[in-house]
Structure 1
Amino acid sequence: MVISRISAVIRAIGFATYKEWAAFRSHMAASLLVGPVLFLVQVFIWQAMYDGRETLNGLTYAQMLSYFGVATLIHYISFDFADWNLQMLVRSGKFVTFALRPLPHWLFALAQKLGHRSLALYVEVLPVMLLFIFVFGVNMKPAAPGAAILSILLSFLMNFLVNYCVGLTAFWLVRAEGVRRVFLLLKDVSAGVFIPLSFFPDILQKILFFLPFQFITYLPTRVYIGHYELAGMELTLGQAVGLQAAAVAVMAALTLALYSAALRRFTGVGV
């Protein structure tokens, strides 16, 4: 009964968020220009890099284009601003309304993201995917559809959990915006958004292997393509997705612990 009630609440919040953003979907449609333009820049860069070469770090030119095409779609699907929302609520004092509710704010924020990204599937993801296939000629067919879908769903959760933890720093920092911007930049670099992590030096690859960021972009992209390798370790698709699931579980536990600590600090100040 409790699970069914929570599920109903999540669906209601998600649907309300969906309808709210559907009224302003032109904001999301603007990203239809940004993604393809950035991808076109990648095409020019890698054309020059592959001049006279068949492969780079084990990836052909076609696979490299697929990597950035899939990475762009994963970015659209897992896009998250829970960190910004949470910091604004704490800074403005409006978080007190959530502290008094029976539903924890992290679950409310997750339900909002589900509604927001559901709208993005046909406003952003599908148009950009068709553009990549028919205009750029990128191979967007997953090597193993089941593993790819599961990995993208785990990426969705991991990005939310990481960003939410960043937002929780607002309970300890007076001005957390600077920390947020620096962290998000480092997150994108460490996730493989700008360049595949296999291009980094070996020592950095070993460090990045144990950080949560690769599970947001790099690992699901490599699973989608059909081959995962990092820090000299090659994993089957099943092993890679299993590792990602374990990382998400650890990150979820860390998020809940940090959320509890943040609430104790919040109530200790006087709420």
Structure 2
Amino acid sequence: MSKVVLITGGSSGIGKSIGEFLHHKGFIVYGTSRNPDRVLNSVFPLIALDVRNPDTIATAISKIISITGKIDIVINNAGVGITGPLEEIPTIEMKNHFDTNFFGPIEVMKAVLPQMRKQKSGLIINVTSIAGYMGLPYRSMYSASKGALEIVTEALRMEVKSFGIHVTNVAPGDFATNIASGRYHAPVIKGSSYEETYGNSLKTMNDHVDEGSNPNQMAEAVYNIIQTSNPKIHYKVGAFMQKFSIVLKRILPDKMYEKILMNHYKL
């Protein structure tokens, strides 16, 4: 019997690519979107779900279980970007960001774990980011939310392993998606102490996304993880230098690594 997959944020970008790839591999795929009625070209069903709203999470999961009787794989992909100098990002935007990127995936996991325990099997894949392995200038909140999700995954793996449930992270680098258009951008304030450096960094960040890899690489990576009987704790997917930056952070003195980042962002 085909495995049932739930992908949050399945209407565009990486989530859509993963869903289409798995659909064509024979999986029963359900994606989610805050506004599924607006999506007309999905090859797999989309269910209304807002990761900031636990009621919608419970409703969506109950609907899938009522149709299929199970959920084998959950891919926590829904997320948003945020940029800006820490000093100039409104606190409410920081909290909104964590509600989506951190507490949202946690609520999805809490909602699906009882069913996976009942099945005595399941796989949860949390889509994080290579940015979560380091503090990046003008991306402090994004790095923090993705890094926090990586750590939560490490802990949860140990808590649920005896139930036959596997939990893992997959951290993408820059991929050519529409994430930049959906980010919260703190405005570049005229006369601000950060006007020039943040303005330049914002352009660099957007260029990296536009020039990013094909999201099908993420789809193939997720498929390979699903085919693995005992997944690793962390996976990284992206350009060589992006993945290598994590290795450099591990082996270089902190200030030397900081200098490399500052040179890259022209700070």
TM-score if structure 2 supplies the norm length? 0.29
Larger RCO (CA under 8 A, 6+ residues apart) = 1
Kindly name which structure, 1 or 2, has the bigger radius of gyration based on alpha carbons.
Answer: 1
Task: Indicate the structure with greater strand content.
Answer: 2
TM-score if structure 1 supplies the norm length? 0.29
